[in-house]
């Protein structure tokens, strides 16, 4: 919705929005503190949120910290991404049954799924772009994913402008943040500071969002409110110092498949797959058959990773036997061949792969080193 009007709401009104979504049958998902991290899970009230809690992130490092104000969204990316609610880590594809007496015909029965509609509370711009990428893969491609499509139908997104980026964020150089521009039903900016309770500048991004917002107490955002919002976003943009130079990135990687940096990085890489599991766009999976009885087998799709040795297993063995080949495959797919496949980069600059790499491998640093030491001229 272009040129939508902005309003100011209190924390009480934000709770009313969540209550209304629950009354309409949505399962509300938002941030909460669990296992020494801020994770996304089902929330009932704002008391479930990480009130006044933020995070500190660097390469291979994550920890919680106390914020100076009682913010609800005073943190950066979570080790969870929203894909886990749409592209499930484990999903039954069908049940295969042989007839007990072997005279009838075998049956293949897909699961009967009637998912509860989901409302995501607190989606940042980088993750809005990631959701759009996954939609392109699972809903708009030639082979749509039926389970994903079911769960994504009717999804309500209450997004939040990111005003607390971490040191590992590089969304600005990817064109994916920190400001959210589309892909949401409602968009919040949290305003917090000394001498005032946190409040929210909010705007609708869809008719569905506009209708919901009409039901809660609000007032027109003042010029001062809009100035505070703009100041918060400008400060966030200034705080994002990591960069990934995307100019000619596809050609850079394609033309440097034998660059010595791959071997140097492979000596550090544990091939643990952390980067792919925390990534909001990675979608590698495999199929496993699980016997349930003598005549019943369930087929499940489970998350997998291009970092696992068995992922490219064929009758003659694994296609990518070395850590070097697997790391190179991940990075070149993410930043290069993904563009050929889907018309966009597979990276949204959220920085999760940097924070959650046990040895602190930094995709922005790796790309910069290859660019700086490339023996080939990369087209502009």
| CA–CA gap between residue 93 and residue 368 (Å, rounded) | 41
- pLDDT, residue 237, reads 96
**pLDDT tier for residue 101 given thresholds of 50, 70 and 90:** confident
Q: Up-side HSE of residue 271: CA atoms within 13 Å toward CB?
A: 18
- pLDDT, residue 156, reads 98
Strand pairing report for 186-193 and 156-160: parallel
Residue 293 lies in a domain: no
Answer with the one of 239, 261, 289 that is the final residue of a domain. 239
Same domain (yes/no): 275, 234 = no
User: Can you give the pTM of this predicted structure?
Assistant: 0.93
Same domain (yes/no): 184, 258 = no
Q: pLDDT tens digits for 308-363?
A: 988 877 777 778 889 999 999 999 999 999 999 999 999 999 999 999 999 999 99
Same domain (yes/no): 129, 57 = yes
Higher-confidence position of 246 and 315 = 246
Same domain (yes/no): 216, 255 = no
Q: pLDDT tens digits for 108-155?
A: 999 887 889 999 999 999 999 999 999 999 999 888 999 999 999 999
Same domain (yes/no): 220, 337 = no
**pLDDT tier for residue 229 given thresholds of 50, 70 and 90:** very high
For residue 85, CA distances in Å to 41, 152, 227 come to 9, 9, 35
Same domain (yes/no): 164, 22 = yes
Same domain (yes/no): 181, 329 = no
Q: Identify each DSSP E strand in the chain by its residue range.
A: 7-9, 27-34, 37-42, 53-58, 61-66, 90-97, 107-109, 118-123, 156-160, 186-193, 196-204, 219-220, 285-293, 296-303, 313-314, 317-318
- The backbone region for 106, taken as left when phi is positive above 0, alpha when psi lies in -120 to 50, beta otherwise, is beta
Same domain (yes/no): 224, 264 = no
Same domain (yes/no): 100, 221 = yes
Same domain (yes/no): 168, 272 = no
Residue appearing with tokens 């042989």: 98
| CA–CA gap between residue 27 and residue 43 (Å, rounded) | 8
Same domain (yes/no): 200, 267 = no
Burial 174-202 (b: 16+ CB within 10 A, else e): bebbbbbeebbbbbbbbbbeeeeebbbbb
**pLDDT tier for residue 374 given thresholds of 50, 70 and 90:** confident
Answer with the one of 189, 220, 239 that is the final residue of a domain. 239
| CA–CA gap between residue 121 and residue 85 (Å, rounded) | 13
322 SS3 class: coil
Q: pLDDT tens digits for 248-284?
A: 999 999 999 999 999 999 999 999 999 999 999 999 9
What are the start-end ranges of the H helices in the chain?
A: 11-23, 125-138, 146-152, 171-174, 207-213, 223-239, 249-254, 261-266, 274-278, 323-332, 338-342, 352-355, 363-373
Count of domains in the chain?
A: 2
What average pLDDT does the structure give for the chain? 93
Range of the domain at 164: 7-239
Q: What percent of the chain lies above the pLDDT cut of 90?
A: 85
């Amino acid at each position: 919705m272009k040129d939508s009007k902005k309003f100011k709401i209190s924390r009480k009104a934000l709770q009313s929005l969540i209550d209304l979504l629950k009354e309409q049958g949505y399962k509300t998902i938002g941030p909460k503190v669990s296992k020494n991290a801020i994770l996304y899970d089902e929330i009932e009230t704002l008391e479930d949120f990480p009130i006044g809690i933020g995070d500190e992130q660097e390469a291979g490092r994550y920890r919680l910290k106390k914020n100076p104000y009682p913010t609800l969204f005073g943190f950066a990316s979570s080790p969870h991404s929203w894909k886990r609610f749409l592209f499930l880590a484990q999903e039954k594809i069908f049940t295969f049954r042989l007839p007990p007496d072997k005279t009838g015909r075998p049956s293949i029965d897909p699961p009967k799924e009637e998912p509860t509609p989901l409302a995501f509370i607190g989606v940042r711009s980088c993750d809005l772009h990631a959701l759009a990428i996954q939609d392109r893969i699972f809903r708009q491609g030639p082979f749509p994913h039926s389970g994903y499509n079911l769960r994504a139908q009717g999804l309500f997104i209450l997004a939040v402008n990111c005003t607390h980026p971490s040191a590992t964020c590089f969304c600005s150089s990817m064109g994916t943040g920190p400001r959210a521009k589309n892909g949401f039903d409602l968009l919040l900016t949290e305003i917090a500071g000394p001498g005032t309770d946190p409040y929210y500048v909010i705007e609708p991004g869809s008719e569905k969002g506009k209708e919901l917002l009409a039901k809660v107490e609000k007032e027109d955002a003042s010029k001062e409110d809009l100035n505070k919002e703009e100041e918060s976003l400008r400060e966030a943009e200034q705080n994002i110092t990591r960069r990934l130079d995307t100019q000619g990135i596809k050609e850079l990687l394609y033309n440097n498949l034998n660059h010595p940096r791959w071997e140097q990085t492979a000596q550090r890489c544990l091939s643990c797959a952390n980067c792919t599991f925390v990534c909001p766009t990675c979608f590698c999976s495999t199929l496993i058959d699980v016997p349930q009885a003598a005549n019943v087998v369930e087929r499940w799709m489970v998350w997998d990773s291009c970092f696992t040795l068995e992922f490219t297993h064929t009758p003659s063995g694994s296609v990518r036997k070395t850590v070097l080949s697997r790391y190179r495959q991940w990075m070149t797919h993410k930043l290069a061949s993904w563009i050929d496949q889907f018309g966009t980069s597979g990276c949204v600059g959220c920085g999760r792969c940097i924070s959650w790499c046990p040895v602190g491998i930094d995709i922005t640093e790796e790309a910069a080193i290859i660019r700086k030491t490339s023996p080939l001229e990369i087209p502009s």
